[in-house]
Protein backbone atom coordinates (compact mmCIF):
# COMPACT_ATOMS: atom_id res chain seq x y z
CA UNK A 1 0.00 0.00 0.00
CA UNK A 2 2.88 2.35 0.75
CA UNK A 3 4.27 1.89 -2.75
CA UNK A 4 0.85 2.32 -4.38
CA UNK A 5 0.05 5.42 -2.37
CA UNK A 6 3.42 6.99 -3.13
CA UNK A 7 3.13 6.10 -6.79
CA UNK A 8 -0.36 7.58 -7.20
CA UNK A 9 0.02 10.62 -5.00
CA UNK A 10 3.67 11.52 -5.34
CA UNK A 11 2.99 14.77 -7.21
CA UNK A 12 0.71 16.18 -4.54
CA UNK A 13 2.90 14.75 -1.76
CA UNK A 14 6.04 16.37 -3.14
CA UNK A 15 4.34 19.70 -3.83
CA UNK A 16 2.90 19.87 -0.33
CA UNK A 17 6.26 18.89 1.14
CA UNK A 18 7.88 21.77 -0.76
CA UNK A 19 5.19 24.09 0.57
CA UNK A 20 5.90 22.85 4.10
CA UNK A 21 9.63 23.33 3.59
CA UNK A 22 9.06 26.93 2.50
CA UNK A 23 7.03 27.45 5.65
CA UNK A 24 9.66 25.96 7.96
CA UNK A 25 12.96 27.40 6.71
CA UNK A 26 13.83 30.64 8.56
CA UNK A 27 14.25 33.12 5.69
CA UNK A 28 14.41 36.35 7.70
CA UNK A 29 12.81 38.38 4.95
CA UNK A 30 9.56 40.31 5.23
CA UNK A 31 7.99 38.91 2.10
CA UNK A 32 8.76 35.27 2.74
CA UNK A 33 7.66 35.64 6.35
CA UNK A 34 4.28 36.70 5.07
CA UNK A 35 4.10 33.81 2.64
CA UNK A 36 5.02 31.49 5.52
CA UNK A 37 2.20 32.98 7.53
CA UNK A 38 -0.25 32.30 4.70
CA UNK A 39 0.96 28.71 4.31
CA UNK A 40 0.67 28.05 8.04
CA UNK A 41 -2.81 29.49 8.07
CA UNK A 42 -4.04 27.57 5.04
CA UNK A 43 -2.16 24.27 5.34
CA UNK A 44 -5.05 22.23 6.72
CA UNK A 45 -7.23 23.61 3.93
CA UNK A 46 -4.69 22.50 1.32
CA UNK A 47 -4.72 19.00 2.82
CA UNK A 48 -8.54 18.99 2.77
CA UNK A 49 -8.95 20.20 -0.81
CA UNK A 50 -5.97 18.64 -2.57
CA UNK A 51 -5.39 15.42 -0.60
CA UNK A 52 -8.80 14.45 0.82
CA UNK A 53 -11.29 15.39 -1.85
CA UNK A 54 -9.70 13.73 -4.89
CA UNK A 55 -8.82 10.49 -3.05
CA UNK A 56 -12.13 8.72 -3.72
CA UNK A 57 -13.71 11.20 -6.14
CA UNK A 58 -11.04 10.64 -8.78
CA UNK A 59 -11.42 6.86 -8.54
CA UNK A 60 -15.13 7.26 -9.22
CA UNK A 61 -14.78 9.94 -11.87
CA UNK A 62 -12.18 8.10 -13.93
CA UNK A 63 -13.88 4.82 -13.12
CA UNK A 64 -10.61 3.34 -11.93
CA UNK A 65 -12.35 1.98 -8.86
CA UNK A 66 -13.41 -0.97 -10.99
CA UNK A 67 -9.73 -1.79 -11.25
CA UNK A 68 -8.61 -0.66 -7.80
CA UNK A 69 -11.27 -2.57 -5.89
CA UNK A 70 -11.21 -5.67 -8.03
CA UNK A 71 -7.82 -6.83 -6.71
CA UNK A 72 -6.79 -9.16 -3.91
CA UNK A 73 -6.78 -6.21 -1.56
CA UNK A 74 -10.33 -5.57 -0.42
CA UNK A 75 -11.73 -2.06 -0.93
CA UNK A 76 -11.74 -1.51 2.81
CA UNK A 77 -8.09 -2.37 3.36
CA UNK A 78 -7.21 -0.43 0.17
CA UNK A 79 -8.85 2.62 1.69
CA UNK A 80 -7.48 2.10 5.19
CA UNK A 81 -3.97 1.54 3.86
CA UNK A 82 -4.04 4.65 1.70
CA UNK A 83 -5.55 6.76 4.46
CA UNK A 84 -2.98 5.54 6.97
CA UNK A 85 -0.06 6.43 4.72
CA UNK A 86 -1.51 9.81 3.75
CA UNK A 87 -2.56 10.65 7.31
CA UNK A 88 0.95 9.83 8.52
CA UNK A 89 2.48 12.01 5.82
CA UNK A 90 0.35 15.10 6.34
CA UNK A 91 0.42 14.77 10.15
CA UNK A 92 4.21 14.80 9.97
CA UNK A 93 4.21 17.85 7.71
CA UNK A 94 1.70 19.66 9.91
CA UNK A 95 3.74 18.86 13.01
CA UNK A 96 6.73 20.44 11.32
CA UNK A 97 4.85 23.60 10.42
CA UNK A 98 2.46 24.19 13.29
CA UNK A 99 1.92 21.37 15.82
CA UNK A 100 -1.38 22.87 16.99
CA UNK A 101 -2.96 22.33 13.60
CA UNK A 102 -2.81 18.52 13.39
CA UNK A 103 -6.44 18.28 14.51
CA UNK A 104 -7.50 20.64 11.73
CA UNK A 105 -5.57 18.67 9.12
CA UNK A 106 -7.23 15.44 10.26
CA UNK A 107 -10.65 17.08 10.07
CA UNK A 108 -9.87 18.49 6.64
CA UNK A 109 -8.77 15.14 5.29
CA UNK A 110 -11.87 13.41 6.69
CA UNK A 111 -14.20 16.07 5.26
CA UNK A 112 -12.48 15.84 1.89
CA UNK A 113 -12.66 12.05 1.67
CA UNK A 114 -16.30 11.94 2.75
CA UNK A 115 -17.39 14.62 0.30
CA UNK A 116 -15.46 12.81 -2.43
CA UNK A 117 -17.39 9.64 -1.62
CA UNK A 118 -20.74 11.46 -1.64
CA UNK A 119 -20.23 13.80 -4.59
CA UNK A 120 -18.03 11.48 -6.70
CA UNK A 121 -16.69 14.30 -8.90
CA UNK A 122 -13.30 15.79 -8.19
CA UNK A 123 -13.91 19.50 -8.79
CA UNK A 124 -17.32 19.50 -7.13
CA UNK A 125 -15.94 17.56 -4.17
CA UNK A 126 -13.12 20.07 -3.82
CA UNK A 127 -15.59 22.96 -3.78
CA UNK A 128 -17.82 21.25 -1.23
CA UNK A 129 -14.81 20.42 0.92
CA UNK A 130 -13.58 24.00 0.87
CA UNK A 131 -16.98 25.32 1.94
CA UNK A 132 -17.59 22.81 4.73
CA UNK A 133 -14.03 22.91 6.00
CA UNK A 134 -13.89 26.70 6.27
CA UNK A 135 -17.17 26.72 8.17
CA UNK A 136 -15.95 24.03 10.60
CA UNK A 137 -12.44 25.42 10.93
CA UNK A 138 -13.69 28.78 12.16
CA UNK A 139 -16.07 27.33 14.71
CA UNK A 140 -14.14 24.38 16.18
CA UNK A 141 -11.04 24.04 18.32
CA UNK A 142 -8.25 21.61 17.40
CA UNK A 143 -9.38 18.84 19.76
CA UNK A 144 -13.03 19.01 18.71
CA UNK A 145 -11.80 19.00 15.10
CA UNK A 146 -9.81 15.82 15.64
CA UNK A 147 -12.81 14.11 17.30
CA UNK A 148 -15.19 15.18 14.53
CA UNK A 149 -12.61 14.11 11.95
CA UNK A 150 -12.43 10.64 13.48
CA UNK A 151 -16.23 10.41 13.53
CA UNK A 152 -16.48 11.45 9.89
CA UNK A 153 -13.81 8.90 9.06
CA UNK A 154 -15.90 6.15 10.66
CA UNK A 155 -18.90 7.32 8.63
CA UNK A 156 -16.78 7.20 5.48
CA UNK A 157 -15.59 3.67 6.19
CA UNK A 158 -19.15 2.50 6.84
CA UNK A 159 -20.44 4.10 3.66
CA UNK A 160 -17.53 2.79 1.64
CA UNK A 161 -18.14 -0.75 2.85
CA UNK A 162 -21.74 -0.45 1.75
CA UNK A 163 -20.81 1.08 -1.61
CA UNK A 164 -18.16 -1.52 -2.29
CA UNK A 165 -20.42 -4.40 -1.34
CA UNK A 166 -23.33 -3.30 -3.47
CA UNK A 167 -21.08 -2.36 -6.35
CA UNK A 168 -21.70 -3.27 -9.78
CA UNK A 169 -25.33 -2.51 -9.22
CA UNK A 170 -27.16 -2.09 -12.47
CA UNK A 171 -30.74 -1.88 -13.59
CA UNK A 172 -33.19 -4.64 -12.93
CA UNK A 173 -32.74 -6.31 -16.30
CA UNK A 174 -29.02 -6.72 -15.75
CA UNK A 175 -27.68 -3.86 -17.88
CA UNK A 176 -24.96 -1.90 -16.08
CA UNK A 177 -25.70 1.42 -14.45
CA UNK A 178 -25.29 4.26 -16.95
CA UNK A 179 -22.18 6.38 -17.03
CA UNK A 180 -22.11 9.50 -14.90
CA UNK A 181 -22.13 8.31 -11.37
CA UNK A 182 -23.96 11.21 -9.76
CA UNK A 183 -26.27 10.23 -6.96
CA UNK A 184 -29.33 11.09 -9.02
CA UNK A 185 -28.24 8.88 -11.89
CA UNK A 186 -27.54 6.05 -9.54
CA UNK A 187 -30.82 6.58 -7.79
CA UNK A 188 -32.70 6.45 -11.05
CA UNK A 189 -30.78 3.42 -12.19
CA UNK A 190 -31.31 1.42 -9.05
CA UNK A 191 -34.84 2.50 -8.21
CA UNK A 192 -36.41 -0.46 -9.90
CA UNK A 193 -34.05 -2.83 -8.10
CA UNK A 194 -34.94 -1.33 -4.78
CA UNK A 195 -38.66 -1.53 -5.55
CA UNK A 196 -38.23 -5.19 -6.39
CA UNK A 197 -36.71 -5.78 -2.96
CA UNK A 198 -39.94 -4.60 -1.40
CA UNK A 199 -42.04 -6.70 -3.73
CA UNK A 200 -40.01 -9.83 -2.99
CA UNK A 201 -40.26 -9.19 0.74
Partner 1 sequence: MKAMVWLTWRQHRWVLLSTAVLALIASSLLVAVDLTESPGRSVPLPAFYAVLLQTAFGAVIGMFWGAPLVAREFEERTHLVAWGQDVTPQRWLAGKVGVLAVFALVLAVLMGQGDGFRGYQDGASWALFEAHPLVQAGYVLLGLALGVLFGLLARHTLTAMAFTLAAYVGVRMLLALGWREHYLPAERAVAPVREAASVPKGAEIVASGYLGGDGEPMAVPDICARLSRPAACIAANGGTDSYVDYQPVERVFGFQVTEFLVCFLLALGLFVLAHERIRRGWRPSRTHRRLA
Return residues touching partner 1 (CB under 8 A): 11-12, 15, 31, 34-35, 38, 50, 54, 122-124, 126-127, 134-135, 138
Q: Which is nearer to partner 1, 2 or 33 (CB)?
A: 33
Q: Which is nearer to partner 1, 92 or 123 (CB)?
A: 123
Q: Which is nearer to partner 1, 136 or 146 (CB)?
A: 136
Q: Which is nearer to partner 1, 84 or 127 (CB)?
A: 127
Given a contact cutoff of 8 angstroms between Cβ atoms, the answer to whether 149 and 110 are in contact is: yes
Given a contact cutoff of 8 angstroms between Cβ atoms, the answer to whether 78 and 68 are in contact is: yes
The least distance separating partner 1 from the CB of residue 103, rounded to whole angstroms, comes to 20
Given a contact cutoff of 8 angstroms between Cβ atoms, the answer to whether 118 and 158 are in contact is: no
The least distance separating partner 1 from the CB of residue 85, rounded to whole angstroms, comes to 19
The least distance separating partner 1 from the CB of residue 15, rounded to whole angstroms, comes to 7
Of 155, 45, 151, the residue nearest 90 (C-alpha): 45
Q: Report the distance separating Cα 178 and Cα 3, nearest Å.
A: 33
Given a contact cutoff of 8 angstroms between Cβ atoms, the answer to whether 61 and 121 are in contact is: yes
Amino acid sequence: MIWLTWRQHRAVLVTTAVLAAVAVVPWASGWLDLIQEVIRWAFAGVVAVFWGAPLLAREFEERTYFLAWGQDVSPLSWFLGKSLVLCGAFSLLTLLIEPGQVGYSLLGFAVGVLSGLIVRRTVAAMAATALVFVALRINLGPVASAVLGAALFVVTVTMLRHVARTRPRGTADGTPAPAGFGWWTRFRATRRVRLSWFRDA
